[in-house]
Amino acid sequence: MAILNLLASQRKCRLSEILTGSNPLVRDQSLVEYNQNSSAGIHICALLDSDGTPMEVALAVTKLVDEGFTTVKLKVGRRASPAEDAAVIQKTREVVGYKINIRADANGKWTYKQAIEFGSRVKSLCLQYIEEPVSSVHDLIKFCENSGLPVALDESIDNLKGDPIQKLHQFVHPGIVAVVIKPSVVGGFENAAHIAKWAHMHDKMAIISSAYESSVGLATYIQFAYYVDRQHDLISRLKRYDSWGTVAHGFGTYQWLTEDVSEQKLQILVPPLGDGMGASVEDAHGYLHHLNINDEKIEKTYSEEKLNSYAIEVDGNHFSYVVKVQEAGDCTNVSIAQLI
C-alpha cells in the first residue's frame, strides 16, 4: 500500500489511476479507454454475524437494507444444526423479500452431509452463493455437483503456496461462481490481481474482501476493487459474454470497528443516484491524501523489553526520505516502523 501510494503521489494522480491505466504513463490503452467511460465507485456488501432468533436476524437485515445495502452476508455453521441456519435464511426472505442478494458463509465448518442438508432446505431461497460450505476440496466439488447451490471460495485460496494460478485449476467447476480475495492474506495486491483475473477468465465473480483492516487499508482496497471491476468489465466485453453486473465487495467489516487509526471518516454511503451502499474512489483517494493518524489510538507502551530507536536515510535521483524505526526485542522479532 505504501509503495502504490508513493507511486501515485510521485505521478500526481490517484492510486486507482495507476491500477486501471488512466495515468498516461501506463500503456494498457484498452483499459484506459474503457476506464474513461466508467463511474468511479464500488458497491459494498454488509456483514452480519447471525446470532439470535431467526426473526431477530431478519430484523437486523431489514435495518441494513434501510441503510442502503443491497447485498448482505450472513454467517452460518455456528448453530446446533444446518436446519437452524436454514430457518434464519427462510425468515429473512419472508421479512425482507427477494429485493436483495443474500450470501451465506459457513467458513468450512460443515461436514458434507450437513452442507447438503442446508442446501436442500435453502435451494428455493435464491442465495447468491454459499461460501466455503465444507473444508475438503473433494467434498467442495462434490457439493457443487449434488447440491445445485452456487458456491464461493475463500479459505480454500488463502493457503495456496507458490504460483496460485496453477493450483486454481482444481476450482474451475462451473458450480463455483465466486472467489473471495483478501489481499493481505493471499500475498499482496499482485497475487490478488492474478487471482481476480483468473476468476474473470473463468466467468466467476472476483470479490475483494477485508480482513478487518482499518480505514487506511479499506481506502486502498476500495481503489483496488475498482480496478478489479474495470478489469472484469473489459474481459466481459472482449469475450462477448454478459458480465455479473454489479459486484458488492466485502468491506462491510468497517461497521464492526468501534475505533479507527484516524479521526477522519472514510465515506461509505449511498450515492444520490446510486443503487446501493458504496464507496467513491475519489473519497478513498482524498482520505489517504489528507490522512492524519490519531496518536491517542495507537498503543505506544512496551514492557520488559528495551526499545531501540534509530533512523535510516534513503536518497534517490528524484527523492529523499527518512525511515524512523522503533525496534523491540532481538533480530527475530518484527520491527515497528513509521515512514516519515
Q: Which residue has the cell 475498482?
A: 226
Q: Are strands 320-328 and 71-75 parallel, antiparallel or unpaired?
A: unpaired
pLDDT of residue 26: 45
**Distance between alpha carbon 315 and the CA centroid of its chain, in Å?**
35
- Burial of 275 from C-beta contacts in 10 A (0-12 / 13-18 / 19+): exposed
Q: Which residue has the cell 450470501?
A: 103
Rg (CA), the chain: 22
Catalytic residue among 75, 99, 167, 182: 182
Catalytic, 75? Answer no
Distance CA 340, CA 331 (A): 23
Catalytic, 182? Answer yes
- Burial of 61 from C-beta contacts in 10 A (0-12 / 13-18 / 19+): buried
H/E stretch holding 336 reads: strand 336-339
pLDDT of residue 35: 46
pLDDT of residue 323: 85
pLDDT of residue 236: 86
pLDDT of residue 331: 56
Spell out the per-residue pLDDT of the chain, length 340, in tens: 888 888 888 888 888 888 877 654 444 445 444 444 446 899 999 999 888 999 999 999 999 999 999 999 999 999 999 999 999 999 999 999 999 999 999 999 999 999 999 999 999 999 999 999 999 999 999 999 999 999 999 999 987 777 788 889 999 999 999 999 999 999 889 899 999 999 999 999 999 999 999 999 999 999 999 999 999 988 888 887 766 678 999 999 988 888 888 888 898 888 766 778 999 999 999 999 888 888 887 776 656 677 788 898 888 888 888 888 877 766 554 444 444 4
Distance CA 340, CA 336 (A): 13
Catalytic residue among 12, 73, 113, 161: 73
Which residue from 98, 100, 102, 101 is spatially nearest to 88, judged by alpha carbons?
A: 102
Give all domains of the chain, ordered by start, each with its CATH number. Answer: 2-289 (3.20.20.120), 299-339 (no CATH)
HSE, side-chain direction, 13 A CA sphere, residue 125: 23
